Amino acid sequence: MALKKVDTAVFISGNGTNLKNLIRFSLSKKSPIKIKFVVSNNKNAKGLRYPKKFNINFKVYSFINESKSENRILKDLKNKKIKLICLAGFMKVLSKSFIKKFGYKILNIHPSLLPKYKGLNTHKRVIENKEKFSGCTVHYVNSKLDSGKIILQKKVKIRKKENYKVLERKIQKQEHILYPKAIMKVFSP
Ligand code: GRF
């Protein structure tokens, strides 16, 4: 008998290429997760086209009052019996209280080899510092930015004269491979 998939919410703020990729993955037989809900803080997020396209429930929360929005999200997650959150380009830092009250795993993908280059504008900073390698990381979320325990990383080599836009695209391709792999790792028996 097939195991029940973990009901999952994906949080986004922007383009949603990782969301699209996770939806595709979740529809495969081998996926341990099922994406039931998409959360955004940005009503104009391009990525909201994917829950529409794949008929997945979604909701936008204003975050004008952060703690009120977090409490509303928690209530909705509870009603939908969500047992995993995957952050995918979500531009808000979830509070300690949110993480504690949710009580299940929260994962994030970050476009650097953490603990190096936490925060924003990663690729630009990497190129400016003339790094030879960069990459991406899937990690557990705690209340400190980009600091939870690392699940998986993928390293990529930076070519001479590569600009940060090219590096961004190259790393995004790897992100789309790494996130499903990390989820498989988290839920492998
Ligand atoms: C990705 O580069 C991810 O690593 C970072 O935000 C970006 C989101 O891209 N956390 P997308 O919205 O999934 O296309």
| 110 part of the active site | yes
- Ligand 1 atom with least separation from CA of 171: 2
Mutate to test the pocket of ligand 1, among 11, 18, 91 (most ligand atoms within 8 A of CB): 18
* 146 Cβ closer than 6 Å to some ligand 1 atom: no
Q: How far is the CA of 92 from the centre of ligand 1 (A)?
A: 13
CA distances from 143 to 98, 100, 104 (A): 9, 10, 14
The mean of the pLDDT values for the chain is 96
* 134 Cβ closer than 6 Å to some ligand 1 atom: no
Residue 3 or 42, more confident: 42
In this prediction, residues 74-99 reach a mean pLDDT of: 97
**Which amino acid, 1?**
M
CA–CA dist 17, 38 (Å, integer): 13
**What is the percent of the chain with per-residue pLDDT over 70, rounded to a whole number?**
98
Q: pLDDT tens digits, residue range 124-144? A: 999 999 999 999 999 999 888
Q: How far is the CA of 2 from the centre of ligand 1 (A)?
A: 31
Contact (CB, 8 A) for 7 and 82: yes
* 135 Cβ closer than 6 Å to some ligand 1 atom: no
Q: pLDDT tens digits, residue range 162-180? A: 999 999 999 999 999 999 9
The secondary element (H helix, E strand) that includes residue 67 is helix 66-79
CA–CA dist 87, 56 (Å, integer): 16
Burial code (b: 16+ CB inside 10 Å, e: under 16) for 46-62 equals ebbebbeeeebebeebe
Q: How far is the CA of 172 from the centre of ligand 1 (A)?
A: 7
CA–CA dist 156, 33 (Å, integer): 27
Q: pLDDT tens digits, residue range 29-40? A: 999 999 999 999
Beta strands in the chain (DSSP E): 6-12, 33-40, 57-60, 84-87, 105-110, 133-140, 150-157
Predicted confidence band at 147 (pLDDT cuts at 50, 70, 90)?
Answer: confident
- Please, what are the domains in the chain? 1-103 (3.40.50.170), 112-189 (3.40.50.170)
Q: pLDDT tens digits, residue range 6-50? A: 999 999 999 999 999 999 999 999 999 999 999 999 999 999 999
The pTM (predicted TM-score) of the whole model is: 0.96
CA distances from 53 to 20, 107, 119, 187 (A): 10, 24, 31, 27
pLDDT value of position 66: 96
Residue 188 or 116, more confident: 116
Predicted confidence band at 2 (pLDDT cuts at 50, 70, 90)?
Answer: low
Statement: residue 188 has pLDDT above 90:
no
